[in-house]
Amino acid sequence: LECVRVDINSSFKLSDCEFILPALETVGYQEKESDMLYFEATDEYDRIPLKFIPYYAYANRGETELLVWILKK
């Protein structure tokens, strides 16, 4: 389970992806990984690309994970 933060003020681009599906693309921020079991909390994040596809198009896309929670504060 990984936590990714989305800046709701960033721009979202509507694009086509596989099988000509609509998709929203933007950037998110993921906490930097550590190999240590215990470590000090930091505010360091890696910038990562995000692509949101319609839920109905998720099945049969190969081995992958799906868990989407978008929290707006």
| pTM to 2 decimal places | 0.49
Q: What is the distance between the alpha carbons of residues 67 and 56, in angstroms, rounded to a whole number? A: 14
Top-confidence residue, 32 or 3: 32
pLDDT at 16 over 70: no
* pLDDT, position 33: 75
Q: What is the distance between the alpha carbons of residues 7 and 5, in angstroms, rounded to a whole number? A: 7
* pLDDT, position 1: 42
Which residue is it, tokens 């799906």?
66
User: Could you tell me where the DSSP H helices lie in the chain?
Assistant: none
pLDDT digits (tens, 9 = 90+) for 19-71: 566 777 888 888 877 777 887 777 888 888 887 777 776 666 666 666 666 65
